[in-house]
Amino acid sequence: MAIVGYARVSTLDQVLHSQIDELTAAGAGRIFTDHASGKLDARPGLTAALDYLRDHEGDVLMVTRIDRLGRSVQHLVRVVDDLKERGIQFRSLHEGIDTTTAGGEMFFVIFAAIGQFSGRLISERTHEGLAAARARGRLGGRPRSMTDERVKTALELRAKGSTFDQIGQILGVSASTVSRAILQAQDA
């Protein structure tokens, strides 16, 4: 059984030394690292660690803190479930999560259930808030960048031979926004 460590800091000014020292002291033989926000999908170090573990059933992925691995509870649960399906365990040193033990696995399941419950509550409140806003005549979302007046201007400029890029520069929007607005106006 090999223990593979993963360490991450969010910015380039932060250093990985303390995480690497903790992982090494806890028995990590190989450590993968990232300097990236946990919210980013592209984390090459995590991808490399997961790829390395792909064919190592019985191994352990270890982090110093649970927030170093997952950007959200849902993401964390997906990663740990994927590891479990491949026979790989997970360990977080500070939270005491260790899926190699029955108690650690139970703790993780409870943690995941609380996270899922929390996510559902947030979703329900969001839907209720949107429904209340709609009942008052307000629509959610970003305001349209192409108002009826701007579409009229775009149509006039296009009729005079202006390109989508030129119209976009005049109106302060992208060429694709202009193109889409003109197509929608012509279809209406």
Residues acting as catalytic residues: 10
Length of the chain: 188
In angstroms, rounded to a whole number, what is the distance separating the alpha carbons of residues 185 and 188? Answer: 5
In angstroms, rounded to a whole number, what is the distance separating the alpha carbons of residues 15 and 50? Answer: 22
Cα torsion 95, 100, 106, 111 to 10°: value is 40
CB-CB contact of 45 with 32 (8 Å): yes
Please state the three-class secondary structure of 19-33 as a single string. Answer: HHHHHHHCCCCEEEE
Strands (E) across the chain are located at 3-9, 30-35, 60-63, 89-92, 97-98
